[in-house]
């Protein structure tokens, strides 16, 4: 079955840039979405179709892809951005990455 690999955690200082990666076989040929989930809350769509920011998502969030690695970048990270982030793609079925806990400290 298809797998998307994310780092378990990423740490960043407030105001700095956070990068969360997502890699998978032939991911360059697939579109990627990104979701944010804070503790006790439902997931929120952040990025779709690799680079498109969903309505209402702050401009500091951006998506990119190079080769078989997709990246979610948060510029000027705020403490409110501390959450779990999941990438998602499709390969015969929808697949989520294992999630990355973003720690802002």
Partner 1 sequence: EVQLVESGGDLVQPGGSLRLSCAASGFTFNFYWMHWVRLVPGKGLVWVSDINSDGRTSNYADSVKGRFTVSRDNAKNTLSLQMNSLRGEDTAIYYCARGSVTGYYYHGMDVWGQGTTVTVSS
Binding site for partner 1 (CB under 8 A): 1, 31-33, 35, 37, 42-45, 47-50, 54, 84, 86, 88-90, 93-99
User: Do 13 and 104 form a contact (C-beta atoms < 8 A)?
Assistant: yes
Q: Name which of 24 and 99 has its Cβ closer to partner 1.
A: 99
Dist. CA 66–CA 85, nearest whole Å = 19
As beta bridge partners, residue 90 has 94
**Residue 13 C-beta: closest distance to partner 1, Å:** 25
Q: Please write down the HEC assignment for all residues of 83-100.
A: EEEEEEEECCCEEECCCE
Nearer to partner 1, 20 or 33 (CB): 33
Radius of gyration of the chain measured on its C-alpha atoms: 13
| Least Cβ distance, residue 38 to partner 1 (angstroms) | 12
Minimum separation from the CB atom of position 55 to partner 1 (A): 8
């Amino acid at each position: 079955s298809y797998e998307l690999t994310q780092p378990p955690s990423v740490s960043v200082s407030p105001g700095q840039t956070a990068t969360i990666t997502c890699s998978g076989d032939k991911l360059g040929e697939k579109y990627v979405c990104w979701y944010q989930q804070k503790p006790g809350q439902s997931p929120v769509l952040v990025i779709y179709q690799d680079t498109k920011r969903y309505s209402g998502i702050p401009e500091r969030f951006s998506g990119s892809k190079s080769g078989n690695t997709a990246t979610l970048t948060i510029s000027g990270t705020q403490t409110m951005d501390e959450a779990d982030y999941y990438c998602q793609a499709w390969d015969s079925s929808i697949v989520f990455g294992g999630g990355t806990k973003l720690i802002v400290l």
